Amino acid sequence: MATKEQSFSVSPTGEKFPIPERADYSVEYDRIAQLIAKNRADGREIVAVLGVGFVGAVMAAIVADTKDGSGKSSKFVIGVQRPSTRSFWKIHLLNRGESPVKAEDPEVDPMIRRCVIEKKTLVATYNEDVLKLVDCVVVDVQCDYLKESLGDLQTGRTDMAALEKSFGTIAERIPPECLVLIETTVAPGTTEQVAYPQFKKIFRKRGITSEPLLAHSYERVMPGREYVKSIRDFWRVCSGVNETAKKRVVTFLNEVLNTKDYPLTVLDRPIESETAKIVENSYRATILAFLDEWSLFAEQNGVDLVKVIKAIKMRPTHSNIIFPGPGIGGYCLPKDGGLGMWAYKHILGWKDNIFKITPAAININDTRALRVAEMTRDALRNMDRPIAAAEVLLLGASYREDVGDTRYSGSELIVRKLTEMGAEIRVHDPYVDHWWEFEAQDSYPSAEYNLKRFFRNQEKLSTLTVSHDLLTSLNDVDAIILAVRHSHYMDLAPDDVVKSIGKPAAIIDCFGMLDDSKIRRYFELGCEVKGLGRGHVNRIKKAAKR
C-alpha cells in the first residue's frame, strides 16, 4: 500500500522502498538482459508478465514453473510492474522470493520461492525496456469500471487508461514476432478494435510491416485455497487476431497449463473470448441478483429462503441456484457486466440501449447490503436500543468465505451505511490484516472512486481496524452481524457468544449461517434475531417465548 509521499512505495507490512531514479534504469536493464541471455542460451523461452497483482503474480510463477518433456525448466519469466508508489514494493518482494499477494492457498508461497530462489526462472523488474528482449508478453494489468453513483451502473464508465498505456509500452518495445497474450478482462472489442490498431500504428512507425500477434485468453482465477489450481488446472478459452496468433497462444497455453485434463476452447475471434468472460460473470451476477427479491419476499412472508433453496437444488437442472450473501463482491462480478454494456456503445458504436438484465443485476447486488443496515436498526429497535451510538460488531470483512480479499465486499457497504446511521463499528476477520478500503479511504482504490463518497459521516472510518481476537471483539456489543461464512463463525455456540458479549444482543444472519436450533437458543437467551431471506425467525421467536 502506498503512502502519499511520491518517492517511496510502502508494502503492507510497512517496508519502505525508494522509487527508482532515472540513473537506476540502465543498471537494472543490464541486470535483466544478462539473465535473459543466460536463460536463452539454456534454451528457455523468455516470457514477460505485465502487472504482478492478484492474477499476474501467480500466473508468472505458474509459467516460471513450467517444465518440458524431459523435466527441464522451459520458461524464464520476468514480472514487469510499473514503479508506482502503490505497487513498486511488489517487485522487491518477488525478487526476494516472497509473494506480493496474500494467499490462503498453501501452494502460492512455495511456488514463488521455488521459482525465484531455486530454479531462478522468475525475476521482477520495473524497467519496461526489457520487453525488447522477450518472446511473449502476458498482460495482467487491471481494467476497471468506475461507477459514478450507487446502484446505477449506467452512469459509470470503463477506465482503460492503465491498459491502453500498457499496450503502447509493449508495442513500442517488443520484437515483431513476440506473442502478446491479453489476459485482462476487457470490454469486448478491445483486442481487435483498441489494441490491434494501436499496435499497427506503432509498428508502422517502427518500420515493422508484419502483423502484431495479439491473443486473448481470460483468467478464471478464484482467490482462496485453490488459487494456483484455479489458474493452472482449469479450463481456458482463447483466441487470436490471426491464425499465427491463435496457433501461438494455443501452444503457449498447452505448455504452461494443465490442458490435458482441462482442455482449451479455441474461439474464432478475440471478441468472442472477451464476450465469453463478460457473459460468464454477468450470468453469475444475475442468478445471484435474482434471489434478492425472493429474499425480501421470504422475510415478509414467514419463509426461510435457505430451506427453499436447498429443496430446489435437489433438482439437478437447478443445482447452481445460490443464496446471495450481503452483496456480491470480488473484483469481477460487480464490474464485468459494465464493461460489456460500455463496449456496446463506446467501442462497437451502437447508440441504442439493449441491456436490461445485466445492469439491473449489478445494481441490485451493489445495494443489497443496505438491507442489512435496515435489519440491524430494526432488530435493535425491537430491543429498545437506538441504532445511533449502538456498538455493532461485523463478523467478516472479505467478499467470500475463508479468503482475505475485501474488494467490493458487501461488508464495506454495511459498515458505511451503519456509520452514516450513527452506529459505532467493530470488525473481526481472521483473514484480513488491513481493510484498505477504509484505512486508505481517500486514495484506495483511487481518490475519486471510493464508496465513501456516497455516504455522510465517513471520516472516522479511516481509523477502523480489523481485529483477530473474537472474544475481545464481542465484549459488550449491542449487535453482531454474521456477514461472511468464514469457518471460524459457522460453529459459534449461542451460549458462548452471549456469555462473551455479557448481555443479550441483536444477531443478524446475512448468509444462512444459523440453523433453527441456534436461532431458537438466541431467542431463549433474550436476543433478537433477523436474517436476510429468513422470514421464519418470527415463528421460532413465538415458539421460544411459549
Ligand X SMILES: NC(=O)c1ccc[n+]([C@@H]2O[C@H](COP(=O)([O-])OP(=O)(O)OC[C@H]3O[C@@H](n4cnc5c(N)ncnc54)[C@H](O)[C@@H]3O)[C@@H](O)[C@H]2O)c1
Instruction: Name the minimum Å distance from CB 84 to ligand X.
Output: 6
The smaller minimum CB distance to ligand X, of residues 87 and 282, is found at: 87
* Residues 78-117 within binding reach of ligand X (CB under 6 A): 80-82, 84, 87, 90
Q: Is residue 274 a contact residue for ligand X (CB under 6 A)?
A: no
Instruction: Name the minimum Å distance from CB 372 to ligand X.
Output: 24
Contact 339, 275 (CB under 8 A): no
Instruction: Name the minimum Å distance from CB 221 to ligand X.
Output: 4
Q: Is residue 342 a contact residue for ligand X (CB under 6 A)?
A: no
Residue from 36, 46, 48, 52 that binds ligand X (CB under 6 A)?
A: 52
Instruction: Name the minimum Å distance from CB 272 to ligand X.
Output: 17
Q: How far apart are CA 21 and CA 310, in angstroms?
A: 59
Residue from 99, 185, 217, 406 that binds ligand X (CB under 6 A)?
A: 185
Q: Is residue 340 a contact residue for ligand X (CB under 6 A)?
A: no
Backbone angles phi, psi at 381, to 5 degrees: -60, -40
Q: Is residue 358 a contact residue for ligand X (CB under 6 A)?
A: no
| Alpha helices (runs of H) in 257-322, residue ranges in sequence order | 270-300, 305-313
Q: Is residue 130 a contact residue for ligand X (CB under 6 A)?
A: no
For 428-440, letters b (16+ CB in 10 Å) and e give bbbbbebbbbbbb
Instruction: Name the minimum Å distance from CB 451 to ligand X.
Output: 17
Q: How far apart are CA 235 and CA 18, in angstroms?
A: 40
Q: Binding-site residue total for ligand X (CB under 6 A)?
A: 28
> Which residue's Cβ lies closest to ligand X?
53
Instruction: Name the minimum Å distance from CB 492 to ligand X.
Output: 28
The smaller minimum CB distance to ligand X, of residues 12 and 53, is found at: 53
Q: How far apart are CA 80 and CA 30, in angstroms?
A: 15
The smaller minimum CB distance to ligand X, of residues 45 and 219, is found at: 219
Cis bond leading into 445, ω under 30°?
A: yes
Q: Is residue 9 a contact residue for ligand X (CB under 6 A)?
A: no
Q: Is residue 162 a contact residue for ligand X (CB under 6 A)?
A: yes
Q: What share of the chain is helix, strand, coil (3-state, %, to 5)?
A: 45, 15, 40
Instruction: Name the minimum Å distance from CB 494 to ligand X.
Output: 35
3-state DSSP assignment of residue 233: coil
- Cα dihedral 202/204/209/215 (nearest 10): 20
The smaller minimum CB distance to ligand X, of residues 184 and 273, is found at: 184
Q: Is residue 223 a contact residue for ligand X (CB under 6 A)?
A: yes
Q: Is residue 141 a contact residue for ligand X (CB under 6 A)?
A: yes
Instruction: Name the minimum Å distance from CB 101 to ligand X.
Output: 7
Q: How far apart are CA 334 and CA 281, in angstroms?
A: 9
Of the ranges 41-49, 205-213, 215-223, 532-540, which one interacts with ligand X (CB under 6 A)?
Answer: 215-223
Of the ranges 76-84, 112-120, 341-349, 524-532, which one interacts with ligand X (CB under 6 A)?
Answer: 76-84
Which pairing describes strands 213-216 and 236-240: parallel, antiparallel, or unpaired?
antiparallel
Residue from 44, 47, 54, 94 that binds ligand X (CB under 6 A)?
A: 54
Residue from 53, 97, 151, 504 that binds ligand X (CB under 6 A)?
A: 53
Contacts of 479 (CB under 8 A, 6+ apart): 376, 379, 380, 390, 391, 392, 393, 505, 506, 507, 508
Q: How far apart are CA 506 and CA 95, in angstroms?
A: 49
Q: Is residue 56 a contact residue for ligand X (CB under 6 A)?
A: yes
Contact 326, 403 (CB under 8 A): no
- Cα dihedral 245/46/50/161 (nearest 10): -50
The smaller minimum CB distance to ligand X, of residues 139 and 372, is found at: 139
Q: Is residue 165 a contact residue for ligand X (CB under 6 A)?
A: yes
Backbone angles phi, psi at 234, to 5 degrees: -155, 155
Contact 76, 164 (CB under 8 A): no
Q: How far apart are CA 229 and CA 55, in angstroms?
A: 12
Residue from 50, 278, 306, 479 that binds ligand X (CB under 6 A)?
A: 50
For binding to ligand X (CB under 6 A), which residues are involved? Answer: 50-56, 80-82, 84, 87, 90, 140-143, 162, 165-166, 169, 184-185, 219, 221, 223, 331-332
